[in-house]
Structure 1
Amino acid sequence: MPDLPHDGLGRRIAYYRGVVRPKMTQQRLAEVACVSLGTVRKIERGERGVTDATLEAIAGALGVDPGRLRADRGPVQSAVQKALPALSAAIAAYDVPDDGPVRALPELRTAVFEAERWRLAAQYTRIVRHVPELLAELARGYHRAGMDERCELARLLVSAYRSADSVAFKFGARDLSARLVELMRWAVPEAEDPLLTASVAYVRTETFFAAHAYASGLRALEQALDAAPAPGEPLEIAMKGTLHMRAAVIAGRAGDVPAARSHLAHARLLADQISEGVYYGTAFGPDSVRIHEVSVAVSLGAEHVGLQVVRSGLPSLPVAGDPAHRATERRSAGGRRRDREGGPGRCRRGSPSSHRDREHGPDGRVREGQATGPRRRGPVRSLRCAQRGHDVSGLRSADRGLCGGGAVRRRRFFQWTEQSGLT
């Protein structure tokens, strides 16, 4: 296989190696990626190209999608688009799967958790290569299983459908995404898990965002809130909180100010009771709520409130590799669909947030795949854009306050925005 062009690729590999915490040495990268140390050194110096296989191994070792390391994103888009029909075929036969082998339940559990890890890290090429076969295998196992195993297989199916949905929605296959959401709703009753049912209701909201059916989406979320268990244990608190966060965003889109404020207030109260983390595949905690506050403020035309939230300080950065870090790497994690729900307006038409609309999802997070380059400054730029033609001095001072102070502080800010799902 021919080597890929190495224009800047080595620098990007070195950058991602440098921001991993704890920092990854060239020797460690070579060991994890199963390539020679000399190869890593030559690649980073730009002295040799990289094959697809080597690039995927290095990206896997760094915990990023190979597309983030490429200068040309075209091959990634093309590879995913070509693989989508296989995903469609896998779910078309969800109730009449082909005959074939089925691994033991612990192995299936590991494969599904790995797919969820790829989803949280936005590693779409890995998902689209492996999940179609996994879905077919899970369907076979589900229909063959006895009652004692069927419950867990239903849970695994829901998680795998969600991972597949992340690719479908990201790459514009809206009908396929809606079908995957419906399959999640089909499988979840067998799981006999009311918290998983709540998480499916959370994901389902993306279909209302895509259709601009905000009032209907708000009703669906409020019904899910009524049905969800009372918030006693941390998982119950987190799931109630994620639904309230989602409801606040969609209420903001609907222009329902009282509902948006009420749901955001409930989310704050619940977030104060637990730590930031991933709960049923969705990030929730104080930092997630603060990000949603910016989104809701901009949706309701209160950009100054969003600016105050940004000025109030940066969330602490978790260590790479732990669950909280994976949660913040990609907050669909914070619930998946920041990039999917459309933006609140267009600056070029005089509305507050065209820059945000082009680069961010409705709750203030940059669209997936935009985590590198100057667009990391989107959160502050969107607020500056909102005030264009008015007094922007305060916004500029906030920009300096967040990004000033030298390279270390700038990198910390960019890390925070990326890990928070703002990029």
Structure 2
Amino acid sequence: MHALGRGGVGGRIAYYRGVMRPKLTQERLAAAANVSLGTIRKIERGERGVSESTLEAIAEALGIDPTRLCADREPAQTRVHEALPALSAVIASYDLPEDGPVRPAHELRAAVSEAARWRLGAQYTLIARRLPDLLAELARAYRVAPAEQRAELAGLLVRAYRSADAVAYKFGAHDLSARLIELMRWAVPEADDPLLSAAVAYVRTETFFAARAHAVGQRALELALDATPATTVAEIASRGALHMRAAVVAGRARDASAAATHLDEARTLADRVLEDIYCGTAFGPESVRIHEVSVAVSLGGDHVGRALDAASEWKPPHDLPAERRSGFYIELGRAQLWSGLADDAFESLKVARRITPQHTREHPWVREDAATLRRLKRADSESLSNFAEWCAAT
């Protein structure tokens, strides 16, 4: 029996260490988490509790979100929501940061890169807990930096704001998300980086999604495309990512022609690069395929069959960012539900949950679809009811 089945935080740690990462011994986990070997052994045996800081250190060493280890503790969304006021407070004082320490530039770069990895991995609890202090530190650094260092620090602020925005947007704090996006737009001219400007335009689309202002969103992305060249690999990827985003916006606007045009452009550009993370956004042939499914579901109607056809031949590889992979299965689940494939839809939602529990739980489509599945299959398995209750489906 897997350690996960034994329950408790220690059992889950043993499971992820021994089954998901079999080469990670207790000794190596202890060293990576900066925790004594005796402590790791006692936790896994259930002989001692785990403090919040120790839990986060162990989860970070395992490369997972702490929520995967603490199912019998306070719900993950509660911890994230409780952390949002601190995030709001620090961005309210972005130009008047409190005095405090500032790490060297190389340490700040490393911290911002780590936050970006948490975002791509949908590790929202870590972001919510750690980003307020990092944003305050970056604001202090920017305020006192000499002129020749301000461009780099502005770029770090933009990237850190983006990671914070991932939490705000995914957890429904759309006003906070809009404020973070405005701060990105404030800082990016100081960074003097056209590719970073393209990334901000990509993220800004969230504001238009939330307001259902799809036509305006399309215009904003077209302006960003006009300003983004396609000569270097990074430029090609940035331009391709904007086309992917524009295709989804066009799909939400039910503009099939524009969606097809943007997808065609994205495919052409993706063929010129390898799948990778460019300026904080995954782009390449696999990402475009995921967006093909997303666009088909957004268009609805006769287009839904295309999503099923695309998914029948291909599944996202494990080296894609976790958030993007779970999004694929959420979109696929909706297409399957609309096509009368209720059992398949539930399986897709469960796969999404295994990949990124927090992203899946907070996704509004998951709640809608789980509620529909429960109504369709009232007398069916207890697991469906449990899933619906887990994601607060009504």
- Tell me if TM exceeds 0.5: yes
Q: Tell me the residue number matched to 1:304.
A: 305
Q: Tell me the residue number matched to 1:105.
A: 105
Residue type matched to 1:290 in 2? R
2:323 pairs with 1:330: yes
Partner Cα separation in structure 1 for residue 33 and residue 103 of structure 2: 26
Q: Tell me the residue number matched to 2:156.
A: 156
Q: CA deviation digits over 1:236-282, x for unaligned, max 9? A: 01101110111111111100000000101111111111111111111
Q: Tell me the residue number matched to 1:203.
A: 203
Q: CA deviation digits over 1:208-254, x for unaligned, max 9? A: 1111111111111111111112x111100110111011111111110
Q: What is the TM-score when the length of structure 2 is the normalising length? A: 0.78
Partner Cα separation in structure 1 for residue 340 and residue 89 of structure 2: 42
Partner Cα separation in structure 2 for residue 266 and residue 253 of structure 1: 18
Partner Cα separation in structure 1 for residue 268 and residue 335 of structure 2: 29
Q: Tell me the residue number matched to 1:251.
A: 250
The Cα of 1:49 is off from its aligned counterpart by: 4.3
Q: Tell me the residue number matched to 1:238.
A: 237
Q: Which structure 1 residue ranges, 4+ long, deviate > 6 Å from structure 2?
A: 336-341, 343-346, 350-353, 364-367
Residues 10, 137 of structure 1: alpha-carbon distance in 2 compared, 3 angstrom cutoff: closer
Residue type matched to 2:69 in 1? L
2:168 pairs with 1:168: yes
The Cα of 1:86 is off from its aligned counterpart by: 1.6
Q: CA RMSD in A?
A: 3.7
Q: Tell me the residue number matched to 2:88.
A: 88
SS in structure 2 of the partner of residue 74 of structure 1: coil
Q: What is the TM-score when the length of structure 1 is the normalising length? A: 0.73
Residue type matched to 1:208 in 2? F
Residues 340, 21 of structure 1: alpha-carbon distance in 2 compared, 3 angstrom cutoff: closer
2:275 pairs with 1:276: yes
The Cα of 1:110 is off from its aligned counterpart by: 2.0
SS in structure 2 of the partner of residue 101 of structure 1: coil
Trace 1:24-423 onto structure 2 (pairs within 5 A): 24-37=24-37, 39-41=39-41, 43-44=43-44, 49-72=49-72, 74-229=74-229, 231-301=230-300, 302-318=303-319, 328-331=321-324, 369-370=357-358
Residue type matched to 1:328 in 2? P
Partner Cα separation in structure 1 for residue 184 and residue 345 of structure 2: 30
Residues 80 and 125 in structure 2, CA contact (< 8 A), matched pair in contact too: yes
Gaps of 5+ in 2: 1-5, 377-394
The Cα of 1:74 is off from its aligned counterpart by: 3.2
Residues 165 and 181 in structure 1, CA contact (< 8 A), matched pair in contact too: yes
Q: CA deviation digits over 1:96-144, x for unaligned, max 9? A: 2233333332222222222222222222232222221221222222222
Q: Tell me the residue number matched to 2:16.
A: 16
Residues 352, 260 of structure 1: alpha-carbon distance in 2 compared, 3 angstrom cutoff: farther
Partner Cα separation in structure 2 for residue 183 and residue 100 of structure 1: 21
The Cα of 1:55 is off from its aligned counterpart by: 1.9
Residues 240, 19 of structure 1: alpha-carbon distance in 2 compared, 3 angstrom cutoff: farther
Residues 20 and 62 in structure 1, CA contact (< 8 A), matched pair in contact too: no
Residue type matched to 1:156 in 2? L
SS in structure 2 of the partner of residue 27 of structure 1: helix
Alignment identity in percent?
Answer: 61
Larger relative contact order (Cα-Cα within 8 Å, sequence gap ≥ 6)? 1
